[in-house]
Structure 1
């Protein structure tokens, strides 16, 4: 393009992406006296704060209240409250509306130059952004994830997670294509907000990475909540009818259809790299993201680093993104001296009840250790579950029999997202079952229950 020939600015560091990873790396560099630019094609602040974890958790709040009230109906409460989705969205915006402006103000105050477009590589150190040709000694890719695009006819009718999180009214019926983290979380929210919910997936169960036994407990309860599952099904097309969308799918060799007012793509997310022209920059990548070394530096272009979800390292989680951003920033400032030190990291699905996991799965533990102790149980009769009338409470804890160290923990429970943090601390500090049992926790509390799980 003729515009690309215009002389643009030269930077020490150019960051593509303004989420936690990109911001952290940029701040380390600018505080070291480097000239830094940050670009983003969307609102500044990244996915988590604007259209991910934070707004999702705000929307989840009233459904938690509804769920507790529903379980205690007739046990001190007359009936559960009605969720007003429109007012809930207004409340959510109090957390998200200021994020882009405040992020930009903070970055500009530090002396950074901001661009509101996703750059494209022209060569190893040159980018095209906002019609300008920009040169940078180091380029940081922190573009995160984006929804995996589905290939069938009518896929353009699909809404995405962004749309759900800003949806003004809950539809009468909604179908989720994909039964992973996002699909299950949204399905639980929608069902409690009064929508008729269907979840369709090619697998034979939801939440593939999580313990099969505990997922089965969650699935059965989800059905009682009113969620309909269609497994081992392949969506072939979506057609827009007069009142509803018609989703045609193939199952057991037969073509069937299901109707819904709204249809969402929750089939997973992929690295957001498709528009960067990485080939021109000599940056290698695969389906997991930018291929980097232990310093989070591109293996094919030493002038490029990647951090956060878009790198091919570890899990796509916000706390880890900040760690990676810090590693990248320090390696650019000081030379490659710092490697990513990743502790054992918990994962949570914010369904109600929560599904939480940390450490090895049962299969992984048995493959790694000679003898594994499996402590498991379904315990809705334990006090903490009974006092809120929770229908699901189950766990599976894995110990290395030789050392009695905890090596894996899997929980489905109303407060599993909090309880799993105790097991995370135990595994990272190589605590044994005896170490946990001799501790004194508050009682009665969900945290205290971990001693009974061992």
Structure 2
């Protein structure tokens, strides 16, 4: 078998892998990069970028419906075929453009999953490839759901490529993916059901706001089935039958499509990590603060596949930067996870940054809690929006803002103001001295901290 050696082999061509590869090439290291799918990674090809393009059209319909009778006479008519074409105008160029960019930088490109055969060798495309360092940046994949009839399950990527909107869809799971796509599909006229094994949705978000969001989604026609464990799927003549157990009873539900939205797991199963002595757990490859494998110093991991990551593209880029620099100069960079905001792109958006209430109260002796409903405020009323609320957490001793959670039409943007405040350890007093543009949702942020609601 032919042999080849590189200074660095990057496994995965998403944001993390590309960032690390470019840093290594800038230092004239001999770099190869491989991916078993289209070059460019999940987010750009089949994830958040495509999702946001599509969601904006359901948001347009939602806002038009809210303002019907206040100036909007007819709800816009949507051409799903043209929406798909517009989405592909973004995603289709990504793989060839990415490959061209990496080739122009002098990298060798491969298109399969490697398998480790020793601590510094892999088998790839019929070759034995050795490297001084390996960077694993393979990201996450949908969590397998091992139930009878699992072959009928679809995943979020399938939704992005549907030629038409189905009449009914069932989501198994109630995380980001389920809530966002459920909201989109319901707005587009699809009958949506969410089946969740726990007693609530979006476990990593503020419970007060999640409850309000669920109420909003129910008003859009979405049905929630909590404390339900899916047992099997069966293909019928026109539908799929979902069998589940709830409160000791066996129940069924029918829909045209069933989506596995139970979460994502590190994409490492095909790499044969054990043959290279690379330790991994349920959260990914086990790394130190330099993102170096604790069990094999020749290996680094960055992005979603690292056990120190969050499934957020900006953090993947940061990890790729750290790994690239550490390959060039060992232990030169350390991961210090910044204050990372995240958003569930439902209508309205649910956004979060910093600590949740329970986390804040376990960390600080006394926590001020500013929490309330502001659906009667100007910014909500001008859009005829009935769902607008917040939870803001403050360390009483220092007066510093330590957590912020927003449910609003523009929470995905407003949350960045709080991310900046928390990162800079801003106090409530200093925050209130800032001048925001008026009228804007950002202007409301100061008003949210006028009256303390609760205290530990």
Query: After TM superposition, is the score higher than 0.5?
Result: yes
Which residue, 123, 135, 156 being the options, matches 2:130? 135
Q: TM-score, normalised by structure 1?
A: 0.98
Match of 1:57 in 2: 52
How big is each residue's C-alpha offset from its partner over 1:363-412, in whole Å with a ceiling of 9 and x where there is no partner? 11111111111111111110000000011000011111122110110111
Match of 2:355 in 1: 360
Shift of 1:333: 0.6
Asked if residue 275 in structure 1 is aligned to residue 260 in structure 2, the reply is: no
Which residue, 16, 20, 23 being the options, matches 2:15? 20
Match of 1:234 in 2: 229
The question of whether the paired residues in 2 share the 8 Å contact of 1:85 and 1:193 is answered with no
Asked if residue 419 in structure 1 is aligned to residue 414 in structure 2, the reply is: yes
Asked if residue 90 in structure 1 is aligned to residue 90 in structure 2, the reply is: no
The question of whether the paired residues in 2 share the 8 Å contact of 1:202 and 1:232 is answered with yes
How big is each residue's C-alpha offset from its partner over 1:213-241, in whole Å with a ceiling of 9 and x where there is no partner? 11000001100001011100000000000
Distance 1:224 1:104 in 2: 45
The question of whether the paired residues in 2 share the 8 Å contact of 1:187 and 1:227 is answered with yes
Distance 2:183 2:78 in 1: 13
Q: How does 1:241-390 map to 2 (within 5 A)?
A: 241-390=236-385
Match of 1:73 in 2: 68
Distance 1:85 1:203 in 2: 34
Distance 1:433 1:7 in 2: 64
Shift of 1:116: 0.5
Distance 1:324 1:108 in 2: 23
The question of whether the paired residues in 1 share the 8 Å contact of 2:174 and 2:201 is answered with yes
Q: How does 1:142-181 map to 2 (within 5 A)?
A: 142-181=137-176
Asked if residue 440 in structure 1 is aligned to residue 435 in structure 2, the reply is: yes
RMSD over equivalenced CA pairs, Å: 0.8
How many matched pairs?
A: 449
Match of 2:452 in 1: none
Distance 1:10 1:401 in 2: 57
Distance 2:239 2:203 in 1: 30
The question of whether the paired residues in 2 share the 8 Å contact of 1:238 and 1:247 is answered with yes
Distance 1:84 1:223 in 2: 25
Asked if residue 453 in structure 1 is aligned to residue 448 in structure 2, the reply is: yes
The question of whether the paired residues in 2 share the 8 Å contact of 1:248 and 1:258 is answered with yes
Shift of 1:210: 0.6
Asked if residue 210 in structure 1 is aligned to residue 210 in structure 2, the reply is: no
SS in 1 for 2:434: coil
Distance 1:314 1:26 in 2: 19
Unpaired segments ≥5 residues, structure 2: 450-456
Match of 1:125 in 2: 120
